[in-house]
Amino acid sequence: MVLQDLGRRLTAAISSVSGHSALDEQASLALDAVLKSVSAALLESDVNVALVKRTRDRVKKQVLPQLEELQAKSTSANQDHDPLAGNKAKQLIHKAMQPVKGKSQVIMMVGLQGAGKTTTCTKLATHYQRRGLKVALVCADTFRAGAFDQLKQNATRAKVPFFGSYTETDPVSISLQGVQKFRAERFDVIIVDTSGRHRQETELFHEMEQIQDAVEPDMTVLVLDGAIGQAAEAQSRAFKEASNFGAIIVTKLDGHAKGGGAISAVAATSTPIIFLGVGEHLHDLEKFSPRPFVSKLLGMGDMQGLVERAQEMALADPARQENMMKKLEKGEFTVRDLKDQLQTVMNMGPLSNLTSMIPGMSDMLGGAGGEGEAARRMKRVAFIFDSMTTAELDSDGSMFRDDPKDKKAIEARDKDKKGKGKEVAAKSKGKENVSPAAGDSSDGDSDEADEAGGGDVDPLGGREPNARVLRVARGSGTSVQEVEELLSQHLMFAKMAKRMGGKNGMMSKLAARGGP
């Protein structure tokens, strides 16, 4: 995939720059190579040509003096990979998108038909409803037959009150009636869904202006299809002129959509993205932050998004949340917790969305492209957990990093190494202590484990694998490398849990902050 490819290209290119101890001509050439690589990948991801050029010049202007400074300090680079989205956009997010109780705030949604407006209206309503606000929807799309039915259906599913009409044909009148009704009923958030199609663009824009004049929204939001690519710039400019929207929601970023178009829209209209649509379901809405977005674009993961998604899930199961919070407050994170979290992740929605949020996860899944491939690999991870004992699952994982003491297992592995030939491998079948989860694949995969441990490329760096790791790899029919990778993921999470724990930890701060 282009974006994941970009991550790899970038990493390789950055290594080539950081390999230079002095900012010599070679380093400068290497920097050019990085920028060329990044520019090419951004263009392939539908980012606008002029924007790529501007960004390239800006990065160059920013990076060169920084490199000189770094060189002087002899420290490693701590690059801000946020040159595209910018901090200004973050600060611009309007207060209206963080509604409060007791003050009826009107949010008007605009965008072309099919962009995902109606779906996003309900997602947004659910988002605010979950935060304890009283939310209602108004359907002002009288143009598309069935628009009201669709909103009605979505709203009913989400248990959100709605207003619309089968007979009234004037969208201005409907939206005004709806907003007035819900204002009188003291709703906190009133979301107005408008039409996205007209025979003439000018008609559509004129209608939008009239609705805006009538309902005086606190915020107008442009809903932009993430898959429109280069067209994003012109479309967002046109809507900006007509409706002066104050925020953008980019939809359909769950599929193969290239997020680059969204960046062009932000740049063209100087308007921040506030949410991303990442699926067709009610909860498939992610709060937007420039840094994780760019991180994800570059295949670097999005921990913040993951924490937020996990919190959303936790809201649905308070007992489980309380349990997890208690553990995190103490800074604890056992192997079983990772197992549970991955199980939760699997219940959280399309796997491909989520794996890209976890740093290193897509690499762990071998950059698994399709949903099926990711699921297949996730199953292997489940086999690994299934091959662990209760004590191992409830441990902090350190027993997997102890020196290999279990002589039996080491002997078994050495025996395996000697018998790498097929006939010897066949003989050893049945003698090993293999759990039923491994099934018939144990032979083939123990070869794989051997390759990982003793082949040309040695991921363990010549280190003896821990006996438990070895046993789990065998039992699960996976390789030592896969088990080690999973355990290093656990170690990373456990370290994070430690940092989050305690009174001043991130958990207490997150809990205190609440969110929009």
Binding site for ligand GDP (CB under 6 A): 111, 113-119, 196, 251-252, 254-255, 277-280, 284
The 3-state DSSP composition of the chain as helix, strand, coil percent (nearest 5) reads 60, 5, 35
Total Cβ atoms within 10 A of residue 280: 14
Q: Is the dihedral of CA 331, 402, 345, 367 positive or negative?
A: positive
Minimum Å gap between C-beta 404 and ligand GDP is: 47
Q: Which residue is nearest to ligand GDP (CB)?
A: 277
* Strands of the 285-287 sheet, one edge to the other: 162-163, 135-139, 189-193, 105-110, 219-225, 247-251, 273-277, 285-287
Rounded CA separation 466/403 (Å)? 6
Residue among 285 and 306 whose Cβ is closer to ligand GDP: 285
Closest CA to 438 of 506, 375, 379: 379
Residue among 120 and 269 whose Cβ is closer to ligand GDP: 120
Closest CA to 274 of 424, 124, 497: 124
Minimum Å gap between C-beta 157 and ligand GDP is: 12
Closest CA to 62 of 42, 43, 38, 35: 35
Residue among 255 and 516 whose Cβ is closer to ligand GDP: 255
Q: How many residues appear in the chain? A: 516
Minimum Å gap between C-beta 236 and ligand GDP is: 15
Minimum Å gap between C-beta 89 and ligand GDP is: 21
Minimum Å gap between C-beta 151 and ligand GDP is: 8
The encoded tokens of residue 108 equal: 């008007």
Q: Estimate the crossing angle of helix 371-386 against helix 467-476, to 10 degrees.
A: 130
Residue among 58 and 157 whose Cβ is closer to ligand GDP: 157
Residue among 142 and 251 whose Cβ is closer to ligand GDP: 251
Q: What residues are paired with 276 via a beta bridge?
A: 250, 286
Residue among 137 and 384 whose Cβ is closer to ligand GDP: 137
Q: Are 463 and 474 in contact (CB under 8 A)?
A: no
Minimum Å gap between C-beta 97 and ligand GDP is: 18
Minimum Å gap between C-beta 195 and ligand GDP is: 9
Residue among 253 and 388 whose Cβ is closer to ligand GDP: 253
